[in-house]
Every structure is written in C-alpha cells, then in structure tokens.
Amino acid sequence: MGSRCGVDPTTIRQALMHQKTLTELAIGLEKGEFSSVELTQHYLDRATAHASLNSFITVTPDLAISQATAADARRASGDAGPLTGLPLAHKDLFCTEGVRTSCGSKMLDNFISPFDATVVSKLGEAGMVTVGKANMDEFAMGSSNENSFYGAVQNPWATDRVPGGSSGGSAAMVAARLVPAATATDTGGSIRQPASFCGVTGIKPTYGRVSRYGMVAYASSLDQGGVIAATAEDCAMVLGAMSGHDAKDSTSIDRPVEDYRKVLGADIAGLRVGIPKEYFGEGLSNAVGERVLAAAKELEALGAVLVDVSLPNTELAISSYYVVAPAEASSNLSRFDGVRYGHRCEDPKDLEDLYKRSRGEGLGKEVQRRIMVGAYVLSAGYYDAYYLKAQKLRRLIAQDFTQAFEQCDLIVGPVAPTTAFKIGELSDDPVAMYLADVYTLSTNLAGLPGISMPVGLADGLPVGAQLLGPHFSEARLLNVAHQFQQQTDWHQKIPAAFA
C-alpha cells in the first residue's frame, strides 16, 4: 500500500526500526536493509523527540555518528561482529572518555572522563554505538530515579509514575524504544526493579562476572554491571560482550564466559523451579502475585517442576543491606571533597569550609543521608553493634540460597511488591522507599545472578518476575526467560505513546 501511495517501502521500514529488537536490528544490518548511520540517526531523532521523558542526561550525536560510520566501514570490509553498528546508551556512572560522567549528581556535573570504563571499551570494541548517557539516581542511591540532580525520569507507560531506580533512565529509554539496549548497574535491585516497572528485560550477573573498573562505586561489595533490553535474547548478546576477567578489577572473576546465545532454546523439561514462601506473603500486591504465579505456571507447562522452598532470612535483608551499603558508600564517596575534581564551593575560608560546603552543595539529600548512616555504623563503639552484625546476617542470607538451591535449580518470585508508584508518592518516606527493595536485596548480598522479565500488566502498568540462580548460572536464567518469551508476548509490548 505504501508504494501505491508514493511512499518508498524502505522509508517505511526505516521509520519502524525502533520497533525491532536488538537481535532483529542485527539481522537488518547484516542484510543491508539499513546502515548503522541510518539506524543511529533514527534513535538520535527519537531521543530528541522524546526529551521530555528525561531519560538521557547527555546525548552524544557526534560520537554516535562517528562510531556508526566506523561500524559501516567495518561491515563493508567484512570485519563486522554480531553487535557491530548497534546503538546503545550507558548508565551515567560508566566512565566514557571525552564525555560527561555525572552519576546523576551536581558533584560531577562538570566531570569529563579521561578514560573508558572496561564495559564501555568492551562494547566499543564489539562495534556498538554510544547514543548517550542515561539518567539515574544520584550515585545509584535510590529506587525511583527521583534522586537525580537532573530531575526525575518519567515511566513511558504512565508519565506520572516512576520508572524505578537507580537505572531508571536505562529502563525508561529501552521501554520507549529510544535505544534498543542500555547498560545498567544493580547494587540492591537497580537493574531488575526498573526493568519490572518499565516492562523490559534486565539481567544482573554474578558478582565479579562484569568488570567494575571505571564504574563509579556506590557499595563495592554489592555493585554489579548488567544490561537492560527488550528481550532475554538481546540481553544475552550484550552481556556476552561485556563480561569477562579484567586485571584492572581485583574483584573480577577469572572464569571463561559462556556463549549465552548458544544455549538459548535448550529444553527446560525437568528443571526445578523454586517458589519461596517468603516472597508471597504480606505486603505483596495481589495483582503482582497473581501474574508472577501465572508465569511460574507457564514455566511448568514448558516442563519445569515447581517446588516450594524457603528463604527464612529474607526479612533481614533490608536491615543488613542498609547498614552494609551506606558503610561502603561513606568510604567510596569520601573522594568527592572539592579538592581533586568535581564541584568546588566558591571562596572557601579554609580547608574545613571547603570540604563542608563542597560536599553540602554537591551531594543530594539521599546521598548525604546514606553517608551519614554509613559513617555512624562504622564509628567507634557502633561497628560491632551494627556493621559486624549486618555482615553476619549477610552470611545467613547467602546460606539460605545455598540450601534452597539444593532443592531447586532456580527461584522465581516478584521483583517488587507493587507496580510503579507515582512520582513524589514516597519521596518524603525513605523507609517506605527502602521497603520496595525487599525481594531484590538478598540477591546482591549473596552475589547471585538474577533476571527480571515482563509477565503481564496490572491496571495498565507492567509487572515483572525475577529468576534467581546459583553463581554463574546466567546462561540458564537467560534461557529460561527466553523460553518464557517464546510462549508469551509481554516483552513485545510498547507504550502507546512511543510505538
């Protein structure tokens, strides 16, 4: 019909490029249906057209077109890989050479990174094109993406709702198809929760699987880089390229990286899927619980075996996390003092005034709150009572998972107790905000991998279920999510305003 109306079918195809998954775009590039420059410009135009979503902190058109041009040259010379020429955005705590890396904070608003994080360099070597840097909660501290110096990010499904945090910008731009994939980080659920709220797929790998070099630290023993995309297959493509040992990161694991895409399609008959009773009790929305259990039944229909398991120390995860994470944050963020780089107050009277005013002006309320908590629990007289006890609880939580995985191969459960809440709804109640992480924190404390996948809608808002597995079970989690997505279409849903 397009050709009869005088419209070039190629133009129509290119206008709908954003509706394709990363995998489909890779096929389109390989077939020559469009060039990387055309694809990149399409996404740059969408980033501009939907700037009100506030999902980007920085858009990098010159860098993107330069990288896309190089990608097309690689493809023409026969040197292209599966990711060559595909656009993505980086969460704005991955250092990117020559580009502002702000961590969503006034403190680093003027910081231009002199080097690339390992994740950025790995994906760059794979030929991916950087469209920009994604908005985020300041220094990754938050569950709603309302704590950014650059303002709250809007959820594409309902712009009066939060996208989740701290990787809310990454999740929102993927959901709105402003990019086909984005890097993200997960310290206590910050990949899985925004992926759930925005109806996309997000994977947090095992601690140490992805290098943290050049990833600005929040809580070093918990932070882990990952990826958000539309589908598990897309996540498998990107995660495979960004994973691997890095000598620059002392916590990086020296272990071969599986070909995650190669295992997609493996039969899951007989796979034991655990359902923890602690995840389906008081506090969980009925609508969310119903959709997660329906997803478990879908896995059962594919041949999986559902088994009941228990994670008895789940309720202690919040207490443990909000001692350990702030303690590490208070140490990591001490470097932002107005002396070496970042925000510096005007006309300091002396060194103490420089420290106080630079940090007071440059750091937001939530960051200051966590630094204060962290300094307190590490102080003399309180270390044993709080920090040491929290680390003991952390060990008990890890043991819960070890025992559960003796009975099952993976665990399925909700990502968050509710769907996305309204912007401002919990801003004045930090404790209520912290409770939104009840189902995700344990995974980080134990260093385990987890993936969130869309499993339905409740009152028009996305619901996600998370799959959790033993250490280095990313391939299995991706395959199970992929098998689920072959039977359902929730991952194909795009918010109407962005289709």
pLDDT of residue 6: 55
Distance CA 461, CA 288 (A): 10
Lowest-confidence region among 10-24, 285-299, 334-348, 446-460 = 10-24
The domains of the chain are located at 9-267+449-463+473-498
446-498 pLDDT tens trace: 999 999 999 999 999 999 999 999 999 999 999 999 999 999 999 999 999 99
Tell whether the model's pLDDT for residue 183 goes beyond 80.
yes
Contacts of 424 (CB under 8 A, 6+ apart): 146
Token pair, residue 344, equals 């510096």
Query: Facing residues of 306 across strands?
Result: 273
Question: What proportion of the chain, given as a percentage, has pLDDT over 70?
Answer: 97
- State in Å, rounded, how far the first CA of the chain is from the last one: 20
Task: State residue 10's pLDDT score.
Answer: 61
> Mean pLDDT of all residues in the chain?
96
- Residue 347 reports pLDDT greater than 50: yes
Query: Which of the residues are catalytic?
Result: 91, 166, 190
| Confidence bin at 2 (pLDDT 50/70/90) | very low
224 with 186: CB under 8 angstroms?
Answer: yes
Q: Is the pLDDT of residue 432 over 90?
A: no
Selection from 72, 51, 93 nearest residue 212 by Cα: 93
Pairing of strands 87-91, 129-134: parallel
CA distance 36 to 65: 9
Confidence of residue 172 (pLDDT cuts 50, 70, 90): very high
Place of tokens 């329906």: 294
User: How would you class 440 by CB atoms within 10 Å of its CB: exposed for 0-12, middle for 13-18, buried for 19 or more?
Assistant: buried
pLDDT for 139 beyond 90: yes
CA distance 407 to 361: 51
The structure's pTM equals 0.96
Nearest to 330 by CA among 360, 381, 369: 369
Residue 436, pLDDT score: 87
Under CATH, which number does the domain 9-267+449-463+473-498 receive?
3.90.1300.10
Q: Judge contact between 130 and 83, C-beta under 8 A.
A: no
> By percentage, how much of the chain surpasses pLDDT 90?
94
Contact call for residues 128 and 83 (beta carbons, < 8 A): yes
CA atoms of 395 and 399, how far apart (whole Å): 6
- List % helix, strand, coil for the chain (3-state, nearest 5): 45, 15, 45
